[in-house]
Structure 1
Amino acid sequence: MKLPSILRVASPQRFEIKPRYYDPIKEEIEQRTARIKKELQAEGKIPLADEDTEDMTYSSSIRGAFASGNHIRGRSTSLFNSASMLRLVIFMILIAAVFGYIYLGPEALYTVAYIVGGLALLVIFFRIKGKSGK
């Protein structure tokens, strides 16, 4: 007798293999009919069938994907949303902090930290304000 439970217990998975049969005669007949059908369509004796996709030759879907998919559609291309701009800003802040520490001492680091913190709070504020206004 099984007791009722709130939690769902996973049952063991069964191994099922579906055998695939290869019939070389059937394969050869399908290739011949596809070839003859293409020849007749090329000669114009039978109309072109757009719905018949069995005789299409398939190629890799990744070929050319990197070259053609550089720009993702629907993505905002704002200057402040790009990762390279963010890296540049962080790099400039670090350079300013290092030179400020060398020339002005530790007070420069505190000043840079306060400026960065204030800018971060402003960015967060405007993002939250923009989302609530929509």
Structure 2
Amino acid sequence: MNFPSIFRVNRPSRFNINPRHYDPVKEEIASRTEMIKKDLESKGVLTPEEEALLERRMSGKGSTIRGAFTSGSPIKKQPTKIMEKTGLVRMIIVILLTGGFGSYIYFGPVVGYYFLYLAAAGALVFGLFKLKPRKKDE
């Protein structure tokens, strides 16, 4: 992650090439599909609207709603551990920074020592819980 800067730094341009190759199987499938479409249109089975719908489905640009409810919602995929949620961690950091700055202005530099003591106590408690053996039935 870069720090924001007011100066523009030149970066080397990257070489990007998209290789093109001939696929005879894909060409044959496309030609057979066109023949089948023309045959169905001549018989009157396939209308132009159905052909457009078929084209969108085959190209992958069909409806994005179809099957969206069965694939699962993003709410279920959220992390379950409370400290993995970045919003909560960010909020705690902002509260600590604003509280520390405000208390430094209000009480003076003594508050820095209190924060150091609290941080050391928190680190000790965290270390004790990490070293505590877990039960085997959990």
| TM-score (norm. length: structure 1) | 0.46
Structure number, greater radius of gyration = 1
Q: TM-score, normalised by structure 2?
A: 0.45
